[in-house]
Amino acid sequence: MEKKSSPKPPQMSPYVFTLLLMGFGLWCFWDGWITTDPDMADHALFNQVLSAILIPWAMWDFFKVKKRYKSKKNDGE
C-alpha cells in the first residue's frame, strides 16, 4: 500500500498579530483623540491609554517578527 501524505495547511503570515494590534490601537486612537462623538467622551481616557500601549507594542512586535523572519530566511529554512 502506498501512503499518500496530506497537503500541508496554508501558512499564516507572521504579521497577523501585529496587524491586529495596530488596527485595534488605531481604532482606540481615533476614539480617544480624534472623534467628536459626545457619547465617546466617557470612554476617551480608556481609549487614549490603550492606544498609547497598543501602537508602540505593534511597532515593537513588527520589528521583532521582521528580525526573526529575516534570520530564518538567512538560515535557509
Q: Where are the domains of the chain?
A: 16-70
Task: Kindly state the cell numbers that stand for 18.
Answer: 501585529
Q: Residue 4: which pLDDT band, with cuts at 50, 70 and 90?
A: confident
| pLDDT (tens digit per residue) in 28-68 | 999 999 988 888 888 899 999 999 999 999 999 999 999 99
Give the per-residue pLDDT at 37.
87
Torsion sign (Cα): 53, 59, 65, 68: negative
Task: Kindly state the cell numbers that stand for 51.
Answer: 492606544
- As a three-state string, the secondary structure of 58-72 is HHHHHHHHHHHHHHH
Task: Kindly state the cell numbers that stand for 1.
Answer: 500500500
Residue 46 DSSP label:
H
